[in-house]
C-alpha cells in the first residue's frame, strides 16, 4: 500500500522495534503507525463491515486502543484503526474503501502523540481476533494490503482510481483520457472541487492511463538514484546516472512514491527512485 501517496508518514513500522515509552529494545509492534495531521479525516484502506466503533474498553479485544474502528474485510480479517480523535461510522455499517471512518488522534494508552495505529488481525472473532501473541494474531499490514489489492484488482470488472494528494478531477480526467463531466456523472459527484484522498473514483470503460515520461537534462553528469527501500537523501544513493554523456536521458515513470520522487527502471541499477524536483531541471511530461 503506497501510504506516502495517501498523505501518510510512517513513524513506526510493523515488527520489532525499541519501545518508544520504556526504551526496551526488540519489542514487537503489532501494527504500523501512520501520521497525516491531528484530526485529519481517515479513509478506510479496504471496504467491509464495521464490527466496532467506540472507545476500546477492557475485554473487547481493543482495550486501551482509545477510540477505535474495526472493519471486517472479505477475508474475515479485522482491520484496526486505533487512537482516533473521533469515529465517523457505527457498528454494522457497510463501508467502501476510501470512506471516512474517523479522524487521527491521540486517545488511549501508550500514546506519544497524534497518529493512526493500523493493525490487521488474522481473524475477526472472537474478541476481534485478539490472542495474547501479537506475532501470531497479526499480518504485516503493508504485505497484506499489497496481496489484497492484487487479488481484488484481478476480480473487479470495473476500473477505479484511488485519489492521491494533489489530485483534482481535472488531473484524473487528463490522466485517463476522459472528461470531468464523465467522471462526475459516473461517480455522482456534485461538488467537483471536493474529492478526498483515498476516495475511489470509478473510471469509464476502456479508460487507459496516459504514460508519463521523465526527461533528465544533458547539463548534469551525476544524478543520484536510490534503492526503493531507502529514503532518497544524500548518503543512501545506489549510484549515479550521467545524462550529459548521452545528451540527456528519458525514462518511463513507473510510480510516484512521494512528492518529487519517481520510480524508474534503469539498465545499470534496475528499478530505483530518483529525486526530480522542478528546481533540478527534470521534466515529467
Per-residue pLDDT of the chain in tens (285 residues, 90 and over written 9): 568 767 899 999 999 999 999 999 999 999 999 999 999 999 999 999 999 999 999 999 999 999 999 999 999 999 999 999 999 999 999 998 888 999 999 999 999 999 999 999 999 999 999 999 999 999 999 889 888 876 665 544 457 888 877 788 888 888 888 889 889 888 888 778 878 777 778 888 766 666 788 999 999 999 999 999 888 898 999 999 999 999 999 999 888 888 889 999 999 999 999 999 989 999 988
Would you state the pLDDT for residue 157? Answer: 43
| Rounded Cα–Cα distance for residues 163 and 188 (Å) | 16
| Residue in the structure block whose three cell numbers are 510512517 | 10
| Rounded Cα–Cα distance for residues 8 and 197 (Å) | 10
| Rounded Cα–Cα distance for residues 213 and 253 (Å) | 5
Would you state the pLDDT for residue 259? Answer: 81
Would you state the pLDDT for residue 111? Answer: 94
pTM (predicted TM-score)? 0.59
Would you state the pLDDT for residue 280? Answer: 92
Would you state the pLDDT for residue 156? Answer: 47
Would you state the pLDDT for residue 151? Answer: 64
For residue 129, the tally of other CB atoms under 10 A from its CB is 23
Amino acid at each position: 500500500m503506497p501510504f506516502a501517496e495517501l498523505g501518510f508518514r510512517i513513524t513506526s513500522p510493523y515488527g520489532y522495534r525499541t519501545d518508544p515509552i520504556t526504551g526496551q529494545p526488540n519489542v514487537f509492534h503489532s501494527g504500523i503507525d501512520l501520521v497525516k495531521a491531528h484530526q485529519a479525516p481517515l479513509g478506510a484502506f479496504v471496504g467491509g463491515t464495521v464490527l466496532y466503533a467506540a472507545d476500546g474498553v477492557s475485554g473487547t479485544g481493543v482495550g486501551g486502543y482509545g477510540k477505535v474502528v474495526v472493519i471486517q474485510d472479505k477475508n474475515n480479517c479485522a482491520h484496526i484503526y486505533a487512537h482516533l480523535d473521533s469515529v465517523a461510522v457505527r457498528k454494522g455499517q457497510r463501508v467502501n474503501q476510501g470512506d471516512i471512518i474517523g479522524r487521527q488522534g491521540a486517545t488511549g494508552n501508550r500514546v506519544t502523540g497524534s497518529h493512526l495505529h493500523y493493525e490487521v488481525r488474522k481473524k475477526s472473532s472472537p474478541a476481534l481476533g485478539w490472542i495474547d501473541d501479537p506475532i501470531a494474531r497479526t499480518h504485516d499490514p503493508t504485505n497484506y494490503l499489497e496481496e489484497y489489492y492484487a487479488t481484488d484488482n484481478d476480480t473487479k470488472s470495473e476500473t477505479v482510481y484511488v485519489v492521491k494528494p494533489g489530485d483534482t478531477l481535472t488531473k484524473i480526467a487528463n490522466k485517463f483520457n476522459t472528461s470531468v463531466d464523465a467522471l462526475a456523472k459516473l461517480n455522482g459527484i456534485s461538488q467537483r472541487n471536493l474529492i478526498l484522498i483515498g476516495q475511489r473514483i470509478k473510471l469509464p470503460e476502456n479508460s487507459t492511463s496516459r504514460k508519463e515520461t521523465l526527461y533528465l537534462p544533458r547539463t548534469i553528469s551525476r544524478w543520484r538514484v536510490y534503492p526503493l527501500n531507502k529514503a532518497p537523501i544524500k548518503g543512501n544513493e545506489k549510484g549515479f546516472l550521467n545524462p550529459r554523456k548521452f545528451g540527456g536521458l528519458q525514462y518511463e515513470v513507473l510510480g510516484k512514491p512521494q512528492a518529487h520522487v519517481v520510480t524508474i527502471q534503469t539498465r545499470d541499477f534496475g528499478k530505483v527512485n530518483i529525486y526530480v524536483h522542478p528546481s533540478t531541471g527534470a521534466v515529467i511530461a
